[in-house]
Amino acid sequence: MRYLPLDNEDRAKMLGVIGVRNVEDLFECVPKEARLSKLIDLPYHQPESEVEKYMTKLSNKSISASSVPFFCGA
């Protein structure tokens, strides 16, 4: 997927179409303690392949229910 930067007018149109005032409104349902408190430390001007590699490595730190045994109910 290619990243095509948007200008402020494009962002405002997109937010208007989905009925929110700003980007923060998109995250209202995410508890504040689950949100990132700072930007991800990515070096600027990285090729897309490097960013994808970094994000994959970062996401591999999360454990999904399908990757470990878990027990529900009796």
> What is the rounded distance in angstroms from the CA atom of residue 10 to the CA atom of residue 46?
24
pLDDT band at 9 (very low <50, low <70, confident <90, very high): very high
On whether the CB atoms of residues 9 and 17 are closer than 8 A, the answer is no
d(CA 40, CA 73): 37
Q: What is the pLDDT averaged over residues 26-38?
A: 89
* Average pLDDT, integer, range 25-52: 86
Q: How many residues does the chain have?
A: 74
Question: Residue 20 and residue 23: Cα distance in Å, rounded?
Answer: 8
> Which tokens hold the place of 55?
């994000």
Is pTM, for the whole model, over 0.75? Answer: no
Structural Rg of the chain based on CA atoms: 17
Domain residue extents for the chain: 1-30
